[in-house]
Chains A and B, each alone.
Chain A
């Protein structure tokens, strides 16, 4: 077990960083799309009724099938991997953004408008703080899924920790398979823990507490 790492640590570190890179880029793009989309859909139920089913359908496509579908369009490598990962995480993110904004007590909005806040002031000073815990919950679940599915993306030459796994499987190298699994799972657990800490801080803040 130790021998595998001793002999391959440079490659493992490179793949580990690559995995982080794929995850961070995909998550960032997904969040950038999901935030405004979620805000829009939270206020427009008719539009949400059209878009949410589409996102749900995308979410149900098996990841290997999705990668295979993307190859003729964008070829192999990082690009199709990121597109697929973004597409998968949109459902989770958008759903949580909507839930976050819809969970705000209507009396708070009414009072804010009644005091003379503009829609934008209401958003910046009030709404997003109250919606943040739910949004971070979505980010956490999306990040964990991305880390998992990104491992499969090495099948289309996107790199990352999946490379270790697939090689190990091909060569029936058990220590290598175990290491690949540990690293992917470890990364997912760590990210989950880190984001759940942020989430509970945001929750405390939104309920009224001094959070530094």
Chain B
């Protein structure tokens, strides 16, 4: 146990009552504080089971989980859950309450004063990209699916938890809004340094969002590694089949600029107007920029907008 681990799982497993076999076989995992970890796997492989043991919606059949060094079995479930944000695909918004009442739920229970709750609601709505004046008094039924999911996110973050659990949060949202929400959650994570465990069965989403990816199959973790490592060094046959793609263009969608960029040529040429892209962009996106621009490279920038490297066709070919 190092101090930088937000979540440590030691031999946790789960066998449901009357089940033939475990939904999760004994598993050890260390989730670094401030990291964005995606959990990838087919339906029924145990992603939700793994996630729900972290906030004790399920109790493990064996093993233990430490959060910031503390055994969660010794923390009252309600207290534990108020420190962990939880977002689910169906949102579970309280439809009889306004948006502000939904978001204020946990702060209210925690007994914050009115003034503080009010400011918090405005901050959170701004954070998730919804105008407070327009949305505070509305009801969930008056929002689009994407907007509802943003509120689900705001509500989960209300008491500023350091850990967020997200179970296929964007699974029911159309492709365009989904991409926007993915960028949004990446931005929020970079800004607030939350530790995020994010379940998905979309490999693109897992690779795009995760600093590291947990690949699961049939109740077992197959590999836990950075996206690029999973791509280049799949741990076994299952992972290889999962990430293997004859479609070169699709493969590029799994690789991020920051993992392959040439950092020696970080400074932009003043006389050329090279297209720019954030370091989390996929090579797929970079290739599009290259094709559309007039330079032979794309300038990569970090979240503070500092130039950190370049990607040319050479890097893309190697990926």
Interface residue ranges, A against B (CB under 8 Å): 105, 107-118, 121, 125-126, 129-130, 205-209
Contacts and interface: CB of A to CB of B under 8 A. Distances in A.
Q: Which one of A108, A110, A115, A126 has the greatest number of beta carbons of chain B within 10 Å? A: A115
B109 A113 contact: no
B22 to A, nearest CB: 22
B121 interface: no
A113 B96 contact: no
B139 A208 contact: yes
Contact of B95 (A110, A114, A207): A207
A111 B94 CA distance: 9
A108 B141 contact: no
Given A115-B81, A116-B82, A207-B95, A107 B90 contact: yes
Given A105-B90, A107-B88, A208-B141, A115 B96 contact: no
Contacts of A206: 95-96
Contacts, number: 76
Interface string B79-112: 1111100101011111111100000011001000
A126 B105 CA distance: 11
A193 B34 CA distance: 58
Contacts of B57: 110, 113-114
Given A117-B109, A208-B95, A111 B88 contact: yes
Contact of B96 (A107, A112, A129): A129
4 smallest beta-carbon distances between A and B, as pairs:
A111-B92, A208-B139, A114-B86, A116-B82
B78 interface: yes
Contacts of B93: 108, 111
A118 B96 contact: no
Nearest to A109: B92
Interface in B133-175: 139-142, 152, 155-156, 165
Contacts of A110: 57, 88, 92
Nearest to A202: B96
Main SS at interface, chain A: helix
Contacts of A209: 139
Contacts of A205: 96
15 contacts: A107-B88, A107-B90, A108-B92, A111-B91, A111-B92, A115-B82, A116-B77, A116-B83, A116-B109, A117-B78, A126-B94, A130-B95, A207-B141, A208-B95, A208-B141
B223 interface: no
Given A113-B57, A114-B57, A125-B105, 20 more contacts: A107-B90, A107-B92, A108-B92, A108-B93, A108-B94, A109-B92, A111-B92, A111-B94, A111-B152, A112-B92, A112-B94, A114-B55, A114-B92, A115-B82, A116-B81, A205-B96, A208-B96, A208-B98, A208-B140, A208-B142
Nearest to A126: B94
A115 B81 CA distance: 6
Interface of B: 55, 57, 77-83, 86, 88, 90-98, 105-106, 109, 139-142, 152, 155-156, 165
Contacts of A114: 55, 57, 81, 86, 88, 92, 165
B139 A121 contact: no
Contacts of B94: 108, 111-112, 125-126
B137 to A, nearest CB: 8
Q: Which one of A113, A114, A205, A206 has the greatest number of beta carbons of chain B within 10 Å? A: A114
Contacts of A130: 95-96
Contacts of B155: 115
Contacts of B140: 208
Contacts of A111: 86, 88, 91-94, 152
Nearest to A206: B96
Nearest to B105: A115
A113 B81 contact: yes
A131 to B, nearest CB: 11
Contacts of B152: 111
Contacts of B86: 111, 114-115
Nearest to A113: B57
A108 B95 CA distance: 9
A105 B91 CA distance: 11
Q: Which one of A112, A116, A121, A209 has the greatest number of beta carbons of chain B within 10 Å? A: A116
Contacts of A126: 94, 96
Given A207-B141, A208-B141, A118 B78 contact: yes
B116 to A, nearest CB: 18
Nearest to B110: A116
Nearest to A111: B92
Contacts of B77: 116
Nearest to B90: A107
Contacts of A105: 90, 92
Contact of A115 (B90, B95, B97, B106): B106
Nearest to A110: B92
